[in-house]
Amino acid sequence: MKPADKQRRLTLSVDNLTSEGEGVARLGRDVYFVPGALPGEEAEVVLDGRRRKVWQTRLLNLIKTSPDRVTPDCPHYQRCGGCDLQHLAYDAQVAFKQERVARELSRQGVEVPEWSAPIVAEPWHYRRKARLGVRYSKDSRENFVGFREASSAHISNVDRCLVLPEHPALDWAAWREQINRLDARAVITQIEAIAADNALALVLRILKPLSPGDEKKLCSFAAGLNMDGLLPLQLWLKSERDAPAQLLWPEQAEPLHHQVDDLALRLELSDFVQVNGAVNRAMVQQALHWLQPGADEVIWDLFAGHGNFSMPLAKRSQQVLAVEVEQSMVDSLAAQASNLALPLQAIQADLSGAGGLADLPEPDAVLLDPPRAGAAGVMNELIARRVPRILYVSCDAATLARDLNVLAAAGYQVRQAGIMDMFPQTHHVETMVLLERKAKRHG
């Protein structure tokens, strides 16, 4: 980044937001990014440097404010890097995400004839999985527990996180005090919270084994946080190596699960899970409604994960093929299907390039839920197979637009599209798109 004169101040009129939710202003031929500013606002900024053709700035003062601006509820918002849109009213957050996805698709020439209403739920206390950093300072002899600051490796203390569930075990100020009482206060590096439907699991990542005395202190602390009427607590320890997590408290614990389509899906501590349970349940129902899987149809679920879509599909079709790259995930899918007595076939295949799906039977429909990098590796296979219906679920609007452009060029039409606000208070957005092959005209 080209350095800037740190004393140079400008007054800018913000007219848009970037995909990451930063304000965009223009002055002459120059473009400026203003984190924390909203469209319609007049902002006083100081220049922070120039990257490529865009100036990075730091917001000093708002001369004129947007009617969509709200006071962030979280006292840690200005420092914590976990959320970036709390200063924008929730309805406006959803509208921004809808416009952002539509803009990305339009740039790639993808036409959407019908946008469904966004899937939304409660904008607070929704996040059921999160990982907090823990750091011990030898200088101050205290622990820091929280999320990394925006654009920084520094851990910012958080007392309570307003997007995590309300539970006494998620009081991070209390955890800071407790960790500081341990002999091994410097060997705990992370706390991961997993709020399943039947329990709240906390996984402490440690650099070396704890002493019996420290384990006893943690068990006593966990017991005090376990209250009737709330999700029962589980406390686990995991080393930085590949060893599995070990249950510390209580002595026995039920396997974690979450409900999808009236199915209790087993959830391992390391499994990827959509972090917003209410939005996820509505998303799965919308996928089933749009795809309309027939009982005798062959359905592929690519990037199947732990079966979030596969298991509901297998309630409706006798020929669901759930495909994953890692053999451990395939084994987990097979065990999940067996446990639920569902006719699902779990398959290991390379989804990054040509040939990985060659041995699979012809599909009547394909559901895609790839990681952020998208599904470029399977586009040619789907086109060659002339798959009649494709349902694409994406967590990245840019790679979604790229892949849809490829499908559109090969004769596919978008029938429906809609966003799902899986991550309120942040710029992240999920999108669902249904495509069908164009019917050939005769005569």
pLDDT number for residue 440? 64
**Average pLDDT for residues 311-325, to the nearest whole number?**
97
pLDDT number for residue 353? 76
**Average pLDDT for residues 34-50, to the nearest whole number?**
95
Q: Residue 298 pLDDT more than 90?
A: yes
**Average pLDDT for residues 329-335, to the nearest whole number?**
95
Higher pLDDT, 28 or 128: 128
Q: Residue 152 pLDDT more than 90?
A: no
Mind listing the domains of the chain with CATH numbers?
9-64 (2.40.50.140), 92-122+276-437 (3.40.50.150), 129-255 (2.40.50.1070)
Q: Confirm whether residue 324 is marked as ligand binding.
A: yes
Q: Residue 266 pLDDT more than 80?
A: yes
| pLDDT tens digits along 156-184 | 899 999 999 999 999 999 999 999 999 99
Q: Residue 151 pLDDT more than 80?
A: no
**Average pLDDT for residues 367-389, to the nearest whole number?**
96
Q: Confirm whether residue 303 is marked as ligand binding.
A: yes
Q: Confirm whether residue 33 is marked as ligand binding.
A: no
Q: How confident is the model at residue 6 (pLDDT cuts 50, 70, 90)?
A: low
Query: 141 — alpha (psi -120 to 50), left (phi > 0) or beta?
Result: left
Q: Residue 3 pLDDT more than 70?
A: no
Q: Tell me the percentage of the chain whose pLDDT exceeds 70.
A: 97
Q: Are 168 and 230 in contact (CB under 8 A)?
A: yes
Q: Residue 362 pLDDT more than 70?
A: yes
**Average pLDDT for residues 391-402, to the nearest whole number?**
97
**Average pLDDT for residues 382-391, to the nearest whole number?**
96
Catalytic positions, please? 395
**Average pLDDT for residues 306-316, to the nearest whole number?**
97
Q: Residue 442 pLDDT more than 70?
A: no
**Average pLDDT for residues 274-297, to the nearest whole number?**
97
| pLDDT tens digits along 177-221 | 999 999 999 999 999 999 999 999 999 999 999 999 999 999 999
Most distant CA pair in the chain, distance: 83
CA distance to 140, 143, 155, 247, per residue, from 137 (Å): 6, 6, 11, 28
Q: How confident is the model at residue 53 (pLDDT cuts 50, 70, 90)?
A: confident
Higher pLDDT, 360 or 140: 360
Q: Which residue has the tokens 């930063």?
A: 22
| pLDDT tens digits along 70-128 | 999 999 998 888 899 999 999 999 999 999 999 999 999 999 999 999 999 999 999 99
Least confident of 18-27, 236-245, 290-299, 424-433: 236-245
pLDDT number for residue 401? 97
Q: Which of 191, 244, 197 is nearest to 221 (CA)?
A: 191
Q: Are 134 and 143 in contact (CB under 8 A)?
A: yes
pLDDT number for residue 443? 44
The CA angle 285-290-294, to the nearest 5 degrees, is 95
pLDDT number for residue 139? 87
Q: Tell me the percentage of the chain whose pLDDT exceeds 90.
A: 87
Task: Please give the torsion angle defined by the CA atoms of residues 305, 311, 316 and 321, in that order, rounded to the nearest 10 degrees.
Answer: 50
Q: Residue 50 pLDDT more than 80?
A: yes
The CA angle 141-143-145, to the nearest 5 degrees, is 165
The CA angle 436-381-291, to the nearest 5 degrees, is 30
| pLDDT tens digits along 233-257 | 999 999 977 789 999 999 999 999 9
Per the DSSP assignment, residues forming a β-bridge with 413 are 436
| Distance in angstroms (rounded) separating the CA atoms of residues 407 and 225 | 52
Q: Residue 270 pLDDT more than 70?
A: yes
pLDDT number for residue 376? 95
